[in-house]
Amino acid sequence: MSGVPITIPALPAVSPATADQVALWDTDLGIQGKSTLTNLGSVLALLTGATFTGVVAAPSINAFVGDNGAGGGGILIADNNQNVTTPAPGSTRMDKAVGGGSFFLFPDDSNILRFTTSTPTNANYATGNVIGTQTSSLDTKDVLGEALPAEEVLALIAEGAAAVRRFQYKAVLNPVYDNEGNETGEFVEGPRPYGGEEFSGVVVDFAGRYGTDRDAAHPNGKGLNTINSTGDLLIAVNYLAGRVAELETRLAEAANTIEAALAKL
């Protein structure tokens, strides 16, 4: 080996910045690239389990474990704030695609999944909205008018009843991979959701009134519109209860009239 080797102690001390770069050395080919200290720190944290006090930014995080025997799969952990006085749950933040704003998903103390639009702390996490029930109050709605007449509602309910079918949810289709880990374009049928349980319910393709989340491929919606169905059923039950009460009154009056007439015989 020619030349004078440089030993580490002979190198000058420096104060590295996040934008500074280090060379990446391939043992067979030599220097092949470089990485900033910021990126290198993220890699080291993933490899060593190191803990960072700041934010580690990455385009995506794969909680990969490979073959873990009888154990579980990868886990993304959001630890809680363990302060004795002001504890708070761990959360997952997701930003909207357009318009800005973030949503935080977190569990409350009763194992209910909730969300807020600000970081869940001890002061606000108990008031977060339960997932799926966040739009039932007046402050989230522009009221357009009174409810439909009961007669129209009954006709819509009849349409919904005619759309009820017995069904199972379709089985999951899992992609097939070749020996190099590439998708082959083929699929293998996996398990059915809910253990293959049989349901009896509205198929919204046959009753648009009771579908929601519409798009071009699903003009009647992709999910069951529980808001319309609940509102219609409340109106229908109230209307039918009134009709029953009215008929009972008329029947009682008729019975009294008949009894009075028989008493005069």
Q: What is the pLDDT of residues 25-79, one digit of tens each?
A: 777 776 667 778 777 766 666 666 667 667 777 788 888 888 889 999 999 889 9
Residues for the chain: how many in total? 265
Q: What are phi and psi of 49, to 5 degrees?
A: 80, 20
The single-letter DSSP state of residue 264 is T
Q: With 60 as the cut, is the pLDDT of residue 238 above it?
A: yes
What would the pLDDT profile of 9-21 be if each residue is shown by its tens digit? 777 777 877 778 8
Q: In this structure, which amino acid lies at residue 247?
A: L
What pLDDT does residue 231 have?
A: 96
pLDDT reported for residue 99:
84
Q: How many CA atoms lie within 13 A of 263 on its CB side?
A: 6
| 8 Å CB contact between 213 and 223 | yes
Q: What average pLDDT does the chain have?
A: 88
Percent of the chain with pLDDT over 90: 60
pLDDT score of 122 more than 70: yes
**Rounded-to-integer distance, Cα 60 and Cα 42, Å:** 12
Q: Which residues have CB under 8 Å from 92's CB, separation 6+? A: 76, 78, 104, 105, 106
